[in-house]
Structure 1
Amino acid sequence: MQDIDTHGGLHTPLKQKHLTMIALGGTMGAGLFIGSGAIISEVGPASIVTYALTGVLILLVMRMLGEMAVANPRTGSFTDYARDAMGNWAGFSTAWLYWYYQMVVVGFEAVVGAQLLQRWIHGVPAWVLSVALLLALTLVNLVSVGNFGKFEYWFAGIKIAAVVASVAVGGLFIFGLWPNSSIDFSNLTSHGGIAPNGAFPMLAGVVVVIFSMVGAEVVTVAAAESKEPGLAIKRAVNAVIYRVLFFFVTSSLIIVTIVPWDSIPTGESPFLLVLQVLDIPGVADILNVVILIAVLSCLNIGLYSTSRMLFTLGSNGECPKWMTAVNKRGVPVWGVLSCTVIAYGCIAVAYFFPDTVFLFLINASGAMILFVYLMICISQIILRKRNELAHGGKLEFKMWLFPYLSICVTAVIVLILGSMMWDSTSRISLLQGLAVWAVILVAFGVKTVRARSRSGLTLDSGIDPNESAISETRNPEKV
């Protein structure tokens, strides 16, 4: 018999190994395997510092989130904490911001996955392959939560193995232990120096890199569907934050040491260039498989996390109540299916309007995760004392140097958002993201006014609205 948690019938089959891999899988997507080329070509060898700084920032945000999640594991995770700290508007907007971000990611990954498949499958339209990939991952999510965990475990495992292998063979090449190689670190300094474009691009690059390193936060959502969520979150956060630092920093060091930074074209995987230098047979096909797996992993996680956001919103009466309905395997079926409908819409938009509407969706999603991280930081600062009181004055998992480090991290995220106004590309992302957030807040205002109006009418008719809501909660719809 499967364990059931107290949040509407979700099962708890996820194990510690699944949660750790889910967190790692969320951070290691196309942003690492392809996007790293853009930052290296802009910053040069100093991109190592950019990755290290960004990794430390992600580490600290995850530590803050981990503190709240260990103290109070919830299916809604950071959206519930925002609600507890700042009110319903914060929980509502954080959930919908994250939902928007991940939905666009799902559509984008399906489109990219189709483009990767066309290397081997000729004559089939890209939109057909996108739909096929989305259908396959939808079935994975619908079968069971455990199935999702198993698939993500293997997806993440392959990505990790690929990065570790690249670092290992790259290290052998650098130290002259690879055939036809000799010890050589000249690429770090012989093409304009370590920071050829100065220090500013190295710091400004954090804005670009942060989007390729996010994703570990999903572990606090998934942990609610594990048997010991508090312990699972603590272990996963500790394991992930240091490994993410290692994978990104070490792989960027290997790349800029082997390949001249100014020879890496934007949009092409620098990993491919490294493996070509090492003269490994079939390197293009090997890397294409790895990147495809990375894309499928992000698509898989996106479907999972967005369906759980809808589950949380439905539980709070902020989207249709039937989003909380689960089947006998504990899967919120309607939440998953609703997300896939939106993803099919993104695929259609990408097909018909690749340079207009779809580009708008991508740009608007860019700042979303920073908004979410900002809400996480503010929530932790507000909830710290409440959580300590609730746990007898002692927390099992704490943010370091509170409140100074927490305030510092919050300030840095605000500075990053502010700096986006100075760059023409980032400015578009920020302004469009703010526009989407404004729409979400207006929707919350309209919903609140309508709820109050209905509540007044209900009270006039002699029916207690609280009793009605309790009745709905006690008898959730089952699929």
Structure 2
Amino acid sequence: MGNKNHQVHGHSGSGNQLKRDLTTRQLTMIAMGCAIGTGLFLGSGLAISTAGPGVLISYAIGALIVLILMGCLAEMTVAHPSTGSFGFIAETYIHPMAGYLVRYSYWIANVLAVGVEVSAIAIYMKYWFPTVPGLVWILFFGAVLIYVNAISVHTFATFEYWFSMIKISAIVGFILLGAYVLFGESSGTNMGPENLVNDGGFLPFGWSGVWIAIFISLFSFLGTELIAVTAGEAKDPDVAVPKALKATVFRLTVFYVLTLALMLMIVPWKSAGVDKSPFVKVMEILNIPGASGIMNFIVLTAALSAMNSQLYASTRMMFSLSQSKFAPAIFGSVSKKGAPLAALAISATGIVVAAAVSALFPNTSYAFMMGISMFGAIFTWLMVFISHLFFRKAWEQKGGRKLPIKMIGYPYLTIIGAVLLVSLMITTWVTDFKILLQFGIPWLIFLSITYFFTNKKKTLHHESVNQLNH
């Protein structure tokens, strides 16, 4: 495997090449844009109601898992700055089937997530246009973001950069406003650090609540792995990828922990997220006019940003599957500007599926799509840890080049990360998140069966070609 030191999967001499146009700044903003979604702005109350103030410990542990993950991912991505990323690495260092499972799981996770986000966007637009059918907004915004992704990776990155800037500015603004509410002249008598220990203490649900909330916290960090997917289009992967990963993990951790700490000190944890977003409550305390409209705009931007990133990620994964002969060759082709249009078209089907499923099964569609989506993402993270155990050993044995970044604590930290993820996934069976395993396990069985037939077809094709050549 030492001969693959500089290989960039998907950059063959066939002309099916993606363009290296992404800078470190763009990589960081893309990952943060994907990770900072509606879960923070509207769903943060779920984590708080599960662990109480102890949610701060949950997010700290979640951030530690992500830090280990990013360390492993950075080392492997610098060695193989590939569009297939963790899928290509799993295929190369574990087994082709591992790469197949990872790529398709990550692909379907993002395809379904695109559909979920665009469905949410239709709901948000009803705030301003209550009489316009949601299907109109699904088709409109779906078409706009498909167009953005179809032009070039630079156009996609530019849009995502500004989407992310709006969300990050909103978080920074909230932190400043929250600090003013707590320590300024307008601070109320029922606010302050004492809220962290009122109503049952710091751990009202014990350590079990903290443990379950760790799993919830991981969803807040999902999307950071997108940097590895974009590495195949980074200008200088050796420099850009490690910098972007470090900056992303640090900023996300600070944003989430600070934001949650302020929420808990301003709003008693028992009422956080029950009736409205804590963000809106802070705005109301400050008597900011149009608080709901401002919040709706921010959440709309968050959904558009997440949808944009997820559409990009699913497109690149399908492109990678085609490059590895696990999907039709047409999905591995690119336009003159370097955009994989066919892969984009098939990945955009999530928009159509979401519209249809939401119309047919309005009460269960969201849970169904998110169940597979969440499993695919967490399964990908687990495979990153496993891949790293195989990668480091093989890289050293084959005399691979000295990498500019190396994961510390190998193999112990890598194993700890994998064990924590497996434990958390098993725990979901006895929580409200059991849907993750209910859909995830059958999905892996289905993929394993399709791999058998796909691989058999590939083998027969190669044998036929060899016979013709002889």
Paired with 2:399 and 2:386, the residues of 1 have a C-alpha distance of: 20
Change (3 A) 1:168 1:96: same
1:309 corresponding residue in structure 2: 317
Q: Which runs of 5+ in 1 are unaligned?
A: 465-479
Per the TM alignment, residue 358 of structure 1 is displaced from its structure 2 partner at its CA by 4.9
TM norm structure 2: 0.93
Paired with 1:140 and 1:159, the residues of 2 have a C-alpha distance of: 19
Q: Which deviates more from structure 2 when the two are superposed, residues 137-146 or residues 203-212? A: 203-212
1:212 corresponding residue in structure 2: 220
SS of the aligned residue for 1:261 comes to coil
Change (3 A) 1:357 1:154: closer
2:101 counterpart of 1:93: yes
Change (3 A) 1:36 1:265: closer
2:11 corresponding residue in structure 1: 6
Paired with 1:357 and 1:289, the residues of 2 have a C-alpha distance of: 25
2:154 counterpart of 1:146: yes
- 8 Å CA contact 1:325–1:333 kept in 2: the answer is yes
> Which of these residues, 3, 17, 22, is aligned with residue 25 of structure 2?
17
Q: Which deviates more from structure 2 when the two are superposed, residues 73-82 or residues 350-359? A: 350-359
RMSD value, Cα: 1.9
2:440 corresponding residue in structure 1: 433
Please list, as runs of the form range in 1=range in 2, the aligned pairs for 1:105-120 lying within 5 A after superposition: 105-120=113-128
Paired with 1:208 and 1:287, the residues of 2 have a C-alpha distance of: 22
SS of the aligned residue for 2:270 comes to helix
- 8 Å CA contact 2:177–2:282 kept in 1: the answer is no
Per the TM alignment, residue 365 of structure 1 is displaced from its structure 2 partner at its CA by 2.2
2:3 corresponding residue in structure 1: none
- AA of the residue aligned to 2:440: G
1:473 corresponding residue in structure 2: none
2:73 counterpart of 1:65: yes
Paired with 1:5 and 1:463, the residues of 2 have a C-alpha distance of: 26
Per the TM alignment, residue 390 of structure 1 is displaced from its structure 2 partner at its CA by 5.8
Paired with 1:447 and 1:51, the residues of 2 have a C-alpha distance of: 41
Change (3 A) 1:406 1:457: same
Per the TM alignment, residue 387 of structure 1 is displaced from its structure 2 partner at its CA by 2.8
- 8 Å CA contact 1:162–1:290 kept in 2: the answer is yes
- AA of the residue aligned to 1:41: S
Per the TM alignment, residue 381 of structure 1 is displaced from its structure 2 partner at its CA by 0.9
Change (3 A) 1:199 1:114: same
Per the TM alignment, residue 356 of structure 1 is displaced from its structure 2 partner at its CA by 3.6
2:6 corresponding residue in structure 1: none
- 8 Å CA contact 2:113–2:369 kept in 1: the answer is no
2:406 corresponding residue in structure 1: 398
- AA of the residue aligned to 2:11: T
Please list, as runs of the form range in 1=range in 2, the aligned pairs for 1:430-469 lying within 5 A after superposition: 430-460=437-467, 462-463=468-469
Per the TM alignment, residue 283 of structure 1 is displaced from its structure 2 partner at its CA by 1.2
Per the TM alignment, residue 277 of structure 1 is displaced from its structure 2 partner at its CA by 2.5
Please list, as runs of the form range in 1=range in 2, the aligned pairs for 1:11-410 lying within 5 A after superposition: 11-175=19-183, 177-179=184-186, 181=188, 184-266=192-274, 268-388=276-396, 394-410=402-418
Q: How many residues align?
A: 458
- AA of the residue aligned to 1:68: M
Per the TM alignment, residue 421 of structure 1 is displaced from its structure 2 partner at its CA by 2.0
Paired with 1:260 and 1:357, the residues of 2 have a C-alpha distance of: 33
Per the TM alignment, residue 220 of structure 1 is displaced from its structure 2 partner at its CA by 1.2
Paired with 1:317 and 1:265, the residues of 2 have a C-alpha distance of: 47
SS of the aligned residue for 2:433 comes to helix
Q: Which deviates more from structure 2 when the two are superposed, residues 143-152 or residues 358-367? A: 358-367
Change (3 A) 1:392 1:438: closer
- 8 Å CA contact 2:10–2:82 kept in 1: the answer is no
Per the TM alignment, residue 393 of structure 1 is displaced from its structure 2 partner at its CA by 6.5
Paired with 1:391 and 1:30, the residues of 2 have a C-alpha distance of: 45
Change (3 A) 1:204 1:180: closer
Change (3 A) 1:257 1:357: closer
In the TM superposition, what whole-angstrom CA distance separates every residue of 1:62-111 from its partner, at most 9, and x where no partner exists?
Answer: 11111101122111111111111211101111000000100111000000
2:5 corresponding residue in structure 1: none
SS of the aligned residue for 1:243 comes to helix
Q: Identity of paired residues, percent? A: 31
Paired with 1:343 and 1:387, the residues of 2 have a C-alpha distance of: 40
Paired with 1:431 and 1:180, the residues of 2 have a C-alpha distance of: 47
Paired with 1:72 and 1:390, the residues of 2 have a C-alpha distance of: 15
- 8 Å CA contact 1:144–1:330 kept in 2: the answer is yes
SS of the aligned residue for 1:355 comes to coil
In the TM superposition, what whole-angstrom CA distance separates every residue of 1:146-177 from its partner, at most 9, and x where no partner exists?
Answer: 000001111111111110110111012212x2
Change (3 A) 1:271 1:391: farther
In the TM superposition, what whole-angstrom CA distance separates every residue of 1:101-155 from its partner, at most 9, and x where no partner exists?
Answer: 0011100000001111110012111122111111111111111110000011111
Paired with 1:204 and 1:28, the residues of 2 have a C-alpha distance of: 20
SS of the aligned residue for 1:122 comes to coil
Paired with 1:392 and 1:446, the residues of 2 have a C-alpha distance of: 34
SS of the aligned residue for 1:372 comes to helix
Paired with 1:429 and 1:334, the residues of 2 have a C-alpha distance of: 30
In the TM superposition, what whole-angstrom CA distance separates every residue of 1:200-232 from its partner, at most 9, and x where no partner exists?
Answer: 101111122212221011111112112112211
Per the TM alignment, residue 280 of structure 1 is displaced from its structure 2 partner at its CA by 1.9
SS of the aligned residue for 2:434 comes to helix
Paired with 1:454 and 1:5, the residues of 2 have a C-alpha distance of: 21
- AA of the residue aligned to 2:348: T
SS of the aligned residue for 1:193 comes to coil
Change (3 A) 1:347 1:446: same
Per the TM alignment, residue 6 of structure 1 is displaced from its structure 2 partner at its CA by 2.7
- 8 Å CA contact 2:17–2:334 kept in 1: the answer is yes
Paired with 2:144 and 2:454, the residues of 1 have a C-alpha distance of: 35
TM norm structure 1: 0.91
